[in-house]
Amino acid sequence: MDLTHIATQLLSDDTSTRLAGLAALEAQSDYFSLPPEVCRGLLLCLGHSRKAVQRGAAAQLVRFSRTHPELVAALTKKLADPDPRVRWTAAFTLSQLDLPTPSPLPVLIENLGHDESDLRWAAATAVLRLAAHHPPVIEELRRLAGAGNAVQRRMALYCLRDLAQAGPDAQAVYLTSLSDLDSGVRLAGLSCLGKLKLASPEARKALLRLLEADPDPGVRRSAAVTLGQLGDPTPAVIEVLTRAAQSDDTGLRKAAAGALEKLRAEVPSPAYGRGNLKPSAE
């Protein structure tokens, strides 16, 4: 294997040549020591304009960082690079390594608010990896859910949901999000409560408020769905869902009817023997 040629390819201005160099490196299954010029070429690929080059370089840096500690040091330094593409790819790469501290977290949080959806979700995936090894990441996500911009708040909630955070601190964050000015954040909070089945008197009160009075139709529909997921068939819940099942809003009508049917299926018959769990005919 001609590592000198690969190093030259990685430094090329031609995208296809760089990709060929990355492919040649990937094709080598044996473990070997990388010369400094190849390491330099991989690091320079972090800020490339093509995501395929960034991903390819990240994969090889993950592969070789385990035997080349100097690459970990270089990647950590790149977290402060002025180029956001370099910062992002370095953080994503580091998140896949066993690190003593969650050093990539600030850059990943920055990208949770990125305009591009695929980058946001890639950042979220990286945050989940970090959180698995560094519990303080969860505390930072709880903070971000109330302090970041609207997109970051929403993504922080989704991360907490996917980490199955259901303790009192997390539940307080979810409930607070239901009063957020941004409808996307309210929807994320509803998703957390529903997917984790976090029923409580406080949640019930907030969901009924959203179902009856939220200005966003999507939030009202989601509140109805969430009430069905929580399996909490109190008289107030049944009454409000029954009214919603007769709404002029087709989406809300279907969501409420579905929630009522779900409650009927999940709750033992004595709990819904009042006879009012069946929505009115449309």
pLDDT digits (tens, 9 = 90+) for 179-204: 999 999 999 999 999 999 999 999 99
1-78 matches 204-282 in fold: yes
Helix (H) or strand (E) holding 123: helix 117-133
Which two tokens mark 12?
């090329």
Q: Is 32 left (phi over 0), alpha (psi -120 to 50) or beta?
A: beta
Where along the chain do its domains lie?
A: 1-78, 95-198, 204-282
| pLDDT tens digit sequence for 204-214 | 999 999 999 99
**CB of 217 closer than 8 Å to CB of 252:** yes
Q: Is 275 left (phi over 0), alpha (psi -120 to 50) or beta?
A: left
In CATH terms, 1-78 corresponds, of 1.10.3470, 3.40.50, 1.10.357, 1.25.10, to 1.25.10
Q: Which CATH class is domain 204-282?
A: mainly alpha
The pTM for the full model equals 0.85
Query: Which residue type, as a one-letter code, is found at position 255?
Result: A
The residue-averaged pLDDT of 137-164 equals 98
Asked whether residue 282 carries a pLDDT value surpassing 90, the answer given is: no
Asked whether residue 34 carries a pLDDT value surpassing 80, the answer given is: yes
Which two tokens mark 279?
């929505």
Picking from 150, 151, 155, the residue whose alpha carbon sits closest to that of residue 140 is 155
Provide the CATH number for the domain formed by 95-198 in this structure. 1.25.10.10
Q: Is 231 left (phi over 0), alpha (psi -120 to 50) or beta?
A: left
Asked whether residue 77 carries a pLDDT value surpassing 50, the answer given is: yes
DSSP 110: H
